[in-house]
Structure 1
Amino acid sequence: MLKLPNLDDRMYEHMVEAARKQIPALYPAWTDENAHDPGMTMLEMLTWLIEMQQYYLNRVTEANELKFLKLLGVKPRGAVPASVEVHFEGVDEKSKLPRGTKLSAGGLIFETSEPLLLVPAIPDKLIVATDSGYFDYTASNEGRNVSFPAFGAKGEAGSRLYIGFTEPLPTNQLLTLSIRLYENYPIVPVQDTERERIPSAMLTWRMFGDGGEDRPANWQPVNLRRDETNHLSQSGKLLFRLERPMQPKVIGPATDRERYWICCEVVEAGFELPPKIEHVAFNAVTAFQHDTWSLMEEFDWDGRSVQGQSLEISHYLAFFGAVRIQVRTEAQGEWEEWSEAGDLSSAVPEDKRKVYALSRNVGSKTVRIAFGEDAGGQAPPDGIGRIRVICHNGRFRDQRHIGAGNGLPHQRFELPCASVVVEAFRLQIGEKDPVSREWLWYDWHRVDDFDRSGPDDRHFLLDPLTGIVLFGDNEKGMAPPPSDELNIVVMSLRSTEGVSGNINAALIQRFAEPWPEVELVRPVNRTVAAGGCAPETLEESKLRVRTELQQPATAVTAEDVERIVLNTPGLRVARARALPLFRKGLKQYPADRSPAALSVVVVPYSESPKPMPSRGFMETVRRYLDKRRMITTDIQILPPEYIEISVHAVIVVEPSFKDEADVVIRELTRLLQPFDNKDGTSGWAFGRTVYKGDIYGVINRIPGVSYIQDLWISAEGKGFHKDADGDIQIPPYGLVYSGEHDIELISLTEL
């Protein structure tokens, strides 16, 4: 980072003296330069103003820097929770884990991101079927981090992956299958948060089961609800249902016993990197390192809907903790707290009772909340976001009230925890209705500062590190009104330890709280947790802004286009070349040009000697670039044109080097390749002519080579031509790769 210059580098006396020396040249008639002269007084005053201006310009405080970042639309990031995939072992019967189930890793709390049905299912057999036969990879799935090819080395169409079980999987249940792929490649793709990647290959999932209506058992389609792997292009989970019972079948050797199978088959090939599987397992879910103290969820309400006068929520805090209900009024948008049906006197008429009925389903771990006739009271008014369900753990029952307002400016309150997740924090302040004396609750909104807050704005500041809540002064943000009771209440609160959540494997070993139903089940993380980040400091924010400003947001120049393509989310793009005003078919480019055309050649990272992008790969690049291109540009995404280069050479060498032709071939192969497999990027330049001088240079640098007696080059492919000097000229979107080199070595003693 560049060192900031010192702006206050001139003393007052020096500036006065420099100005005095310019008087004879600028104003020769001014001869009285003594202190009593009014002109000298004005000069000294202006010099003092300049000196003060320099002094303040040089004092850029942290508050100033935050304002400058705000002008750029940037603010320091808060702590980011780590995440990890957790497997549950020892499952001997079906049971349900609600979303937000708390797990313990020492002193850290992890929470599951979604509901999970635990089933007693362990993959007992893994078989890969290709044209070469059946291959058993069951031993590779025993947690040793040994990968195996899911569809063989090439991932050709018709290849299949069979996963066998000793017992049939349950029907009409949402099942979760976790697949972890080998991803330790030189190029790490940008995370695809919007899931816009079009898969390179197309897969289909089936299971062997009952055909129905007295038809024999056969392969039946699996009802796939969600595929986080995007057709096995990345690690993730599959959520699916089996609509028919499974039937046993023998796959592989005829002497093997029958099992219950699900099968994944390649319908359309095209993998740039055929997937390699490290582990396949049921009963897995993603867990985040955060601790939810209180949760708030909003629901739309329409009492005339088919679901009747009830709603359902599935969360750990809702099932095991306390639940509160708020309903938004139709007047000013205030929120009223409703009571559970058993808490009100039966003397209140049913049509006036603002109550709800609460019931918990032990099997599904859900909570049903009923209103109206089902609860013996009135129904909430219809509307979007009309009902709020607030659930919290027992220890937070009293801690949720953080204080009472006093009407004074700059009130400060402390939360029961620090390291707060800012995005999940919600706060309300209650005011008593002057007529009914009932509490009405108003939402207050978090802001980064009070710069744009008026006296009537219900705004507050939050310091997530210390857990301090700060209110305004009735001019910049309203101050909480005075109250004799605790009226400042936290509705939603979540804390995280950030970077400390990046724990090692096997540290999650138990549930955070005793749970008899799953006392024999043991959670375990087979991989390290990742993604946890500490709150961003101001210096880190400034560095990030500098980096982001250097990244092109729009494709204006050819360099912009190449940088954008190389950072296409979800793809491992090894190389990219933008060719302005070029369209495939031009013979004399760049002399001949196609107006408004832009061709982009993309090379995916691959272990193949000729990496070719699939249709899905190129379409993903095109869609990503299309949002950032100039509106007058016609973009065409091209695969590279590969030219096979073969070298034929007669080389005179030292006697000790007589049998080392493989060394020469290895050096030629290293030169003539699309990219270097070590870093996945650098390689032969697009469209660069293969000169005989390049080949001479590589061979002559090899120790043991005396001189080259004869050398010529041959090529195969489309779009190249060989000139009179024997050099190979390739098209602008062309790359080379090594063919079969014919190297003859002659010892100096044989001449």
Structure 2
Amino acid sequence: SISAATLGVSVAATHAQVVEQETLGHSNGDPGQTFHMQFFPVLSLHEGETLEVEEQRHGEPVFVPWTCVSSFAHSTLHDRHFSLDAAAGTVELGPAVRQSDGTVRQYGRIPENGRAVRFSRYRYGSGANGNVPENSLQTLTSSFAYLARVTNLQRAVGGRDQETLDELKMRAQRELQAQKRTVTAGDYETLLKNYSRSIARVKCVSPQDDAQLKPGVVELLVVPEVGSALLAGDLGSLKLSSTFVREAKSFLDAYRLLTTSVQIREPHYTGVKVQAEIVVDDFQNPEQVCTRVERCLNQYLAPLAHGSAGADMPQLLPPDWEGWEFGRGLFTAEISSLIQRVPGVKYVVDMQIFTRVIDSEREQQRVPEIDAEDALTPLEERMVWIPKNGLVCSLAHDVRVADLEKILHRGRLS
């Protein structure tokens, strides 16, 4: 007998635009030349992505690849070296520096006058808009034999927009305050926060704060910068990778005291789902008001600030809001008050809160039972108790519009 089967293949994909053999200009024969790429920011260079300069070989013009370096300090006048400012898309060749004895030293090779300069290949883009939800990439731009369909089974992650001026100012302040040594809890928090832009928040816990920690142990609770993933409901993005933990600990080892050991983990997350019935103001779009309320809840019940409230509503949180305060409980009254302040909401008729413990590792494995209603615990008190050094996380909220006339009618009958 003959049987038929369908085969699937998984491949890695990157959100980026590719530019091939872009001509940057021609050399003028001077040291310290700069060339500008047409598109930026430029992603990290892979093998085969480099600067190429025209040279004569056996009477024929050929393009010779150059090497990208972070500094020209060790470059000689024979080295084909260049530096790349990826954010600005600027290529720079080695400078000539006058020495104390009056001689001039050339750092890096200078292309001959008139030689063409090009970039063999580079990729640009990959901002936060590339973090698309699962099953959203289903269009083939080119046809391939025996390929019926394509999709992304997991959400795309890792895309970040270029650092803003405000972020740069805050990072500069932290850098100035950092003393490159770890004595206090603030030292650990500042150093680790400066280690990577992929870190949103850091909380240092010492044995004085947690009796379960052994003497000499410092525990760092890290919240990754995954605001866009949380908005898409991807709670598994809160999981710290083993690679990140290993590299971050190695970074801190250079500054910690010899008698201190460092542990890095995620905080304890408590998922909160709000089920609410509201009455909207007259002449308001009910669907838009419900969406507005859900966005506001997502912004408030979050371990980090991600600014999801939108431009169509006033700022309901303080400007310096970084996310939920570690270990602070959640009162039901503050949720009612928050919803009431959302533009377009007239009354909050009914509200119920459900909770469950967030296991980021299980979330990554997408266990179906996690999202089942029986996995949620209805709140029977007036407060959600959050573990010490824990944080809250939004689940899928359910906001519905109530019929005020029916409510008033039931009230009259009773």
TM interval, short-chain normalised: 0.5 to 0.7
- Aligned equivalents of 1:706, 1:698: Cα separation in 2: 12
Q: Does 1:236 align with 2:39?
A: no
Q: Does 1:647 align with 2:274?
A: yes
Change (3 A) 1:547 1:665: closer
Return the match for 1:676 from 293, 305, 309.
305
- Aligned equivalents of 2:64, 2:119: Cα separation in 1: 11
Residue 493 of structure 1 aligns with which residue?
A: 105
SS of residue matched to 1:613: coil
- Aligned equivalents of 2:40, 2:323: Cα separation in 1: 30
Report deviation, 1:562.
0.6
1:287-306 → structure 2 map (5 Å cutoff):
295=76
Change (3 A) 1:524 1:643: same
Residue 90 of structure 2 aligns with which residue?
A: none
Report deviation, 1:636.
0.9
- Aligned equivalents of 2:262, 2:272: Cα separation in 1: 30
Change (3 A) 1:110 1:286: farther
- Aligned equivalents of 2:210, 2:182: Cα separation in 1: 20
1:109–1:512 CA contact under 8 A, matched in 2: no
Q: Does 1:523 align with 2:118?
A: yes
Amino acid at match of 1:605: E
Change (3 A) 1:316 1:652: closer
1:204-353 → structure 2 map (5 Å cutoff):
235-238=44-47, 285=66, 295=76, 315=79
SS of residue matched to 2:263: strand
Return the match for 2:220 from 593, 600, 608.
600
1:81-92 → structure 2 map (5 Å cutoff):
none
Residue 147 of structure 2 aligns with which residue?
A: none
Q: Does 1:104 align with 2:32?
A: no
- Aligned equivalents of 2:279, 2:179: Cα separation in 1: 52
- Aligned equivalents of 1:670, 1:546: Cα separation in 2: 26
Q: CA RMSD in A?
A: 4.8
- Aligned equivalents of 1:568, 1:108: Cα separation in 2: 34
- Aligned equivalents of 1:714, 1:688: Cα separation in 2: 17
SS of residue matched to 1:656: coil
Change (3 A) 1:640 1:597: same
SS of residue matched to 1:608: helix
Report deviation, 1:554.
1.2
Instruction: Structure 2: state its 5+ residue gaps.
Output: 1-18, 50-62, 82-94, 123-171, 309-319, 360-375, 409-414
Residue 513 of structure 1 aligns with which residue?
A: 113
Deviations 1:377-425 (A, max 9, x none): xxxxxxxxxxxxxxxxxxxxxxxxxxxxxxxxxxxxxxxxxx8647xx4
2:22–2:118 CA contact under 8 A, matched in 1: yes
Residue 199 of structure 2 aligns with which residue?
A: 573
1:293-442 → structure 2 map (5 Å cutoff):
295=76, 315=79, 421=97, 425=99
Instruction: Structure 1: state its 5+ residue gaps.
Output: 1-85, 91-101, 113-142, 148-179, 182-234, 241-281, 297-313, 318-418, 426-461, 463-467, 470-489, 497-509, 516-520, 528-544, 583-588
Return the match for 1:562 from 178, 189, 196.
189
Q: Does 1:553 align with 2:153?
A: no
SS of residue matched to 1:648: strand
Change (3 A) 1:146 1:559: closer
- Aligned equivalents of 1:722, 1:694: Cα separation in 2: 17
1:448-459 → structure 2 map (5 Å cutoff):
none
Amino acid at match of 1:738: S
Return the match for 2:354 from 714, 718, 737.
714
- Aligned equivalents of 1:736, 1:601: Cα separation in 2: 14
Residue 164 of structure 2 aligns with which residue?
A: none
Report deviation, 1:705.
2.3
Report deviation, 1:567.
1.2
Report deviation, 1:668.
0.8
Q: Does 1:695 align with 2:321?
A: no
Report deviation, 1:733.
4.2
Q: How many residues align?
A: 275
Point out the structure with max Rg over C-alpha: 1
- Aligned equivalents of 2:28, 2:273: Cα separation in 1: 58
- Aligned equivalents of 1:523, 1:494: Cα separation in 2: 22
1:722–1:729 CA contact under 8 A, matched in 2: no
- Aligned equivalents of 2:352, 2:72: Cα separation in 1: 69
Report deviation, 1:746.
2.4
SS of residue matched to 2:330: coil
Q: What is the TM-score with the length of structure 1 in the denominator? A: 0.31
Deviations 1:503-542 (A, max 9, x none): xxxxxxx953356xxxxx6525999xxxxxxxxxxxxxxx
Deviations 1:143-188 (A, max 9, x none): 99599xxxxxxxxxxxxxxxxxxxxxxxxxxxxxxxx53xxxxxxx
- Aligned equivalents of 1:702, 1:678: Cα separation in 2: 15
Q: Does 1:735 align with 2:391?
A: yes
Report deviation, 1:290.
11
Report deviation, 1:612.
2.3
Q: What is the TM-score with the length of structure 2 in the denominator? A: 0.53
1:109–1:290 CA contact under 8 A, matched in 2: no
Amino acid at match of 2:353: I
Aligned-pair identity (%): 26
Residue 663 of structure 1 aligns with which residue?
A: 292
Report deviation, 1:672.
1.7
SS of residue matched to 1:732: coil
